[in-house]
Chain A
Amino acid sequence: MTADAFLIATGAFMPGPPIPNARMEDHIGRVNGRDSALGRRALRWNGVETRHYALDDHGVATHDNAGLAAAAVAAALDDADRPSRDLGFLATATTQGDLIVPGHASQVHAALGAPPLELASFQSVCASSLMALKAAVLNVKAGEARLAAAVGSEFPSRWFRPERYEGTDLVDAKGRLPVEAEFLRWTLSDGAGAALVAPRPAADRISFRVDWIDLISYADRFETCMWAGAAKADRFDLSKSWSALGPAAAFAAGAIALQQDFELLKPIIRAWVARYLELVEAGKIDPDAVDHVLCHYSAESLRREIVELLVAAGSMISEEKWFSNLKTKGNTGAAAIFVMLDEFARTRPISPGDRALCVVPESGRAMVGFMMLTAVDGAER
């Protein structure tokens, strides 16, 4: 397959106003009516200052996940000035859709109101974004679609409401949540982002040629690190998953909440870095030739030993090339790379020929994706 594929437009939909740290608990609530002791620590680590919620300040939902995704696709179509009937393929990415069955893409298609088209639903955590984008790119390259959309959307906040934890084994005798559950309440938030993929760049502006997408799983070597559907100690044995226990018993066991194992995260981060070093060593990434890095991990959050190794290994890309809107838009999981691309394309001075490296790590069961984009001026072609 030698044909090109280009990101010709992007769109984002962030529900409601930006919510500052001090007002988060008006939206996600207070477990057992108490302020969270861990919240401040989580915010220091993740560096988020404002985020958006599809919940009002009484915790009532203002949207659904499919609606967020559809709004982002509509914004991207608007950006490209194309009607939804032009879409031949729609790929969706999310961690937790509105329904368990059928696939999220079906609900997004319906919410978008586009005529019949091909669908693909990708469900994972952050890296599902690149699964969807790669599917869109390959469909365009194969000539199966002339215009494809990939969309990432998340609505985790409703899972962070107190009633999703209270009365379960997750709450200790003092009414507190374990760090595994509490941290994510303070880290993840809602939103959606989309990109349109076409075989030719847009005529009137900068597009991004997708040079390659490299997505690799290390589930063969790591235990599950971020999950929902099992109690912490039971997640190694799928015969104890929520599907096996049934929803009521699983809820009581605290198996429904999203959780993160922070100890396991450390070697997984090193595996992500090793994959990057492998791509540099293989000549696929030339750090000096990268003009922009889009990563929803901040450079500051990498530990010193990793930054030192990257520098010594001639592989650190200087911090002024890093673009992120994590601080203002929050960590929106599968939507994050799209939300970032959208703001990047709109606000950064980008010259034709600029190379942008997108990095999408997923802790779930250890996965990491890289995408190389080259800016192309359609008018010049």
Chain B
Amino acid sequence: MNELAPISKADEATASCLRRLGTEWADFEARLHATPLVKRLDQGKFRVEDYRALLLNLRQQVKDGACWIARAASHVDEAHFELRSILMRHAATEHRDYKMLEQDFVAAGGQLKDIQSADKNIGSEALSAWMFHEASKPNPFGLLGAMWIIEGLGSMKAKEWGEAIVAQTGLPRAAVSFLLYHGDNDDDHLKEFEAMLRLVAPAPGVADRVVKTARVTGRLYALQIEEIAV
């Protein structure tokens, strides 16, 4: 860890924002663990039908993920062109992800038409509406807080959950590809995130908005998981 350079004073706004986001993350994670579905996983009682319910509910919101990022990019002005580029690349990388959820659902014994035709649950409705609402604002930098929460799920929870689901349900790894894939591929997200945050965090009010957006996103995401019947 010694090769990592200490932060400079100019980056203090970014560092402070990251400290606050670290706390928001832990609070969000605790809320997730309090939901009936995640409790079942923590208690070693997860069933294949719990997994299918998770995929079916996640898919409706993941499908929107790349869309709100793209909408946010289109509201970033020329002065923040670099951030716009990063967001557009990001949207492109993720916009097929929900297809993996469909494949996993079928591999776990579900019917494609069921996952494709399912409605958003209450939490997903609220989460998606919130994201598009924020993304429609000029220079919607607060959404970095939403990315912090959602990408944190990819880099920290996906693999842990994927492995636990494989162990508890006996499903083949190929049926848990979305979770296992994200866990394997999200390693550099913190570096990318820090680079984006550095571009905007020093401006007045931005760090507060990023933290607030992380908090709201976390609450709505937890509601989405809470709404999954087990």
Q: Which one of A263, A264, A271, A314 lies within 8 Å of B7 (CB-CB)? A: A314
Check: B125 CB closer than 8 A to any chain A CB: no
A298 vs chain B, min Cβ distance (A): 12
Interface-side segment among B26-34, B53-61, B127-135: B26-34
Interface-side segment among B16-24, B102-110, B112-120: B16-24
- Tell me which residues across on chain B come within 8 A of A305, comparing CB atoms: 155-156, 187, 190
- Tell me which residues across on chain A come within 8 A of B30, comparing CB atoms: 218, 221-222, 267, 271
Check: A26 CB closer than 8 A to any chain B CB: no
Residue ID in chain A nearest B164 by CB atoms: A263
User: In whole angstroms, what is the CA distance A274 to B22 when docked?
Assistant: 5
- Tell me which residues across on chain B come within 8 A of A203, comparing CB atoms: none
Check: B64 CB closer than 8 A to any chain A CB: no
Check: A345 CB closer than 8 A to any chain B CB: no
Q: Are B4 and A307 in contact (CB under 8 A)?
A: yes
User: In whole angstroms, what is the CA distance A209 to B49 when docked?
Assistant: 57
Interface-side segment among A48-56, A79-87, A275-283, A333-341: A275-283
Q: Are A312 and B33 in contact (CB under 8 A)?
A: no
Q: Are B1 and A233 in contact (CB under 8 A)?
A: no
User: In whole angstroms, what is the CA distance A236 to B7 when docked?
Assistant: 43
User: In whole angstroms, what is the CA distance A271 to B30 when docked?
Assistant: 8
- Tell me which residues across on chain A come within 8 A of B82, comparing CB atoms: none
Interface residues on A, range: 20 to 34
Q: Are B22 and A223 in contact (CB under 8 A)?
A: no
Check: A23 CB closer than 8 A to any chain B CB: no
User: In whole angstroms, what is the CA distance A55 to B27 when docked?
Assistant: 43
Check: A161 CB closer than 8 A to any chain B CB: no
Check: B194 CB closer than 8 A to any chain A CB: yes
Q: Which one of A267, A308, A314, A315 lies within 8 Å of B33 (CB-CB)? A: A267
Q: Which one of A232, A266, A277, A316 lies within 8 Å of B22 (CB-CB)? A: A277
Q: Which one of B1, B4, B23, B44 lies within 8 Å of A278 (CB-CB)? A: B23
A286 vs chain B, min Cβ distance (A): 12
- Tell me which residues across on chain B come within 8 A of A41, comparing CB atoms: none
Check: A239 CB closer than 8 A to any chain B CB: no
- Tell me which residues across on chain B come within 8 A of A311, comparing CB atoms: 1, 4, 6-7
- Tell me which residues across on chain A come within 8 A of B4, comparing CB atoms: 307-308, 311, 316
Q: Are B19 and A223 in contact (CB under 8 A)?
A: no
Check: A319 CB closer than 8 A to any chain B CB: yes
Q: Are A281 and B2 in contact (CB under 8 A)?
A: no
User: In whole angstroms, what is the CA distance A311 to B191 when docked?
Assistant: 11
- Tell me which residues across on chain A come within 8 A of B22, comparing CB atoms: 273-274, 277-278, 309, 313
- Tell me which residues across on chain A come within 8 A of B164, comparing CB atoms: 263
Q: Mark B156-180, 1 if CB is under 8 A from A, else 0.
A: 1000100010000000000000000
Known contacts A218-B30, A273-B22, A314-B11; A308 and B190 CB within 8 A of each other: yes
User: In whole angstroms, what is the CA distance A309 to B44 when docked?
Assistant: 30
User: In whole angstroms, what is the CA distance A308 to B195 when docked?
Assistant: 13
A105 vs chain B, min Cβ distance (A): 33
- Tell me which residues across on chain A come within 8 A of B190, comparing CB atoms: 305, 308-309, 312
- Tell me which residues across on chain A come within 8 A of B27, comparing CB atoms: 274
B161 vs chain A, min Cβ distance (A): 9
Q: Mark A312-324, 1 if CB is under 8 A from B, else 0.
A: 1111101100000
Check: A327 CB closer than 8 A to any chain B CB: no
Check: B42 CB closer than 8 A to any chain A CB: yes
Q: Are B19 and A315 in contact (CB under 8 A)?
A: yes
List residues of A (161-185) whose CB comes within 8 Å of B's CBs: none
B154 vs chain A, min Cβ distance (A): 12
Residue ID in chain A nearest B197 by CB atoms: A312
Check: A38 CB closer than 8 A to any chain B CB: no
- Tell me which residues across on chain B come within 8 A of A308, comparing CB atoms: 4, 190-191
User: In whole angstroms, what is the CA distance A78 to B182 when docked?
Assistant: 57
- Tell me which residues across on chain B come within 8 A of A221, comparing CB atoms: 30-31, 33-34
Check: B208 CB closer than 8 A to any chain A CB: no
Q: Are A313 and B18 in contact (CB under 8 A)?
A: yes
- Tell me which residues across on chain A come within 8 A of B14, comparing CB atoms: 312
Chain A CB count within 10 A is highest, among B23, B26, B39, B42, for B26
Give the top 9 A-B pairs by smallest Cβ distance, nearest first: A274-B26, A314-B15, A221-B30, A313-B18, A277-B22, A281-B19, A277-B19, A314-B7, A311-B4
B residues near A, CB below 8 A?
1-2, 4, 6-7, 11-12, 14-16, 18-20, 22-23, 25-27, 29-31, 33-34, 39, 42-45, 155-156, 160, 164, 187, 190-191, 194
A residues near B, CB below 8 A?
218, 221-223, 232-233, 236, 263-264, 266-267, 270-271, 273-275, 277-278, 280-281, 299, 305, 307-309, 311-316, 318-319
